[in-house]
Structure 1
Amino acid sequence: MSSNRMTPALVSLIAGIACAIASGVAIAESTEEAIRAKLTEAIPRLDITGVKASEVPGLYEVSSTNGGNILATEDGQYLLTGDVLKVTSEGIANLSEEKRLGERAQALAAYDQSKLITFPANGEQKASIDVFTDIDCPYCRKFHDEVSALNDMGIAVNYYGFPRSGPNTPSFSKYISVWCADDQQAAMDAAKQGKSVPNQSCENPVEAQYRLGQQVGVTGTPAIILDNGQMVPGYRPANQIAQALGLR
């Protein structure tokens, strides 16, 4: 492996690394330095924000802003990927997913809600869902057909832009046009029906939302996130979503 660049394979690997539950126990400064040095040498672009002992004996959790969380051995020589499972008296617990739920919910709660395209609940709001969506995704369009039913059930739908093709692509431009429209909800309705939306450009949060989606583990659309941070990937009809929210 080259020591001065991150290969595409490694970028893909790191982006998909699952989290491990940290114990919060302080570690020796020499251990942290050894792990940081090894990973910095191997992955120069990795922005490490912390190293701490994990719940798994002998393994350390390495947090970063651009590579997720990684489990490493004390010398940083070996990295582990995949979910961490723990055998408990009640069965198998997925420690990685438990942590992802909290981190995902926290990240979305901290986001400025005024920058979302929201379809509010009709009457009393009983719940809300966050949905990362792509204008051109067929299943996103199918999901959008369920939005009015969700609203009637008291469920607000908050849309985050996640054009899967990435910045500087036609799908990305379409989402920006929807965001910049005078009536965002009407523009979204039209775009989801395959209708043309006037090209517009303005200061917008689409790229920031796209990066946020990557941060919280979105890999496809629609990605439906419940209020507890649970991600429901792919299309689901309104009744199933309401049931997942405890409203049915």
Structure 2
Amino acid sequence: MNIPVSTVLHAALRGLAVCVALTAPLSASAETFVDKAADTAIRKAFQKSRPDLIIEEVVPSEMSGVYRVEMENGPTLYSSANGQFFIVGDLYEMGESGIENVAVKRMQPMREALLAAQKREDMIIFSPKGKAKGAIYVFTDVDCGYCQKLHAEVPQLNANGIEVRYLAYPRQGLHAATSKKMVSAWCADDRKAAMTALKSRQEIKPRECANPVAEQYKLGGKLGVTGTPAIITEDGFLIPGYKPADELTAIVLQ
């Protein structure tokens, strides 16, 4: 039976959501060597089978002879040099402290650096009174039920000293109705009030302006976000999915 590659990828996204969310490009030092022959062969194999699937990069993985293939808005694959065989999933290493997830080990410092570089004025930020004890970045979708549930606990997070920094991640893509709602929130005169209204399932006035929604959506994909809410601590640790305010506080302030 000939199963479409897209079916395999979508199944992998559903079944390995946490694993996929923790994948990301290698550090610059690990990418100094690029096998052009393997890069060409892998891209050619995928192009022949499914030209609509876009490969962002092909680099040697930590496992000899196996290549890491980053798909645009998709999971990370591990492929043979000729592109004939590939697998979807996590790669593990026998480290000094035990078995380690290679993707987790690689991803956390990258998330930390890229999120620290985000401009505060490009985020919708809910800050505690006085000095914050910690902060979380939240890739959010205003129509996501668990995002709405988390937002209802933002006052408690603020009371616990946690600053909440929202970034946009419309799950259905940039052309969906939710994306337009989020643009309106980022373009509103009072962005926090607009965010709260949308998370309360209220309508707000449609607005358009120069906004960071598209860039933040792309950033989320680069950081391994595949669903919402995707919560990331200041040191780059990803918490996929909703967690109650008290649990989040304990994680952030540990």
TM tier, smaller: 0.7 to 0.9
Identity fraction in percent: 36
Which stretches of structure 1, 4 residues or more, deviate above 6 A after TM superposition? 13-16
Give, in angstroms, the shift of residue 73 of structure 1: 1.8
Q: Do structure 1's residue 122 and structure 2's residue 113 form an aligned pair?
A: no
Aligned partner letter, 1:9:
T
Deviates more, 1:105-114 or 1:32-41: 32-41
Structure 2 match to 1:153: 160
1:137 to 114, 133, 144: 144
Structure 2 match to 1:198: 205
Q: CA 1:47 to 1:89, structure 2 compared with 1: closer, same or farther past 3 Å?
A: same
TM-score, length basis structure 1: 0.80
Gaps of 5+ in 2: none
Structure 1 match to 2:235: 228
Aligned partner letter, 1:96:
A
SS, match of residue 77 in structure 1: coil
Q: CA 1:127 to 1:179, structure 2 compared with 1: closer, same or farther past 3 Å?
A: same
Q: Which has the higher contact order (CA 8 A, sep 6+)?
A: 2
Deviates more, 1:135-144 or 1:9-18: 9-18
Structure 1 match to 2:189: 182
Larger Rg: 1
Matches within 5 A, 1:1-248: 8-9=6-7, 12=10, 18=23, 23-24=30-31, 26=33, 29-44=36-51, 50-63=57-70, 69-245=76-252, 247=253
Aligned partner letter, 1:169:
A
Gaps of 5+ in 1: none
Aligned partner letter, 2:7:
A
RMSD between aligned residues = 3.2
Q: CA 1:113 to 1:45, structure 2 compared with 1: closer, same or farther past 3 Å?
A: farther
Q: CA 1:67 to 1:133, structure 2 compared with 1: closer, same or farther past 3 Å?
A: closer
- How many equivalent pairs are there? 244
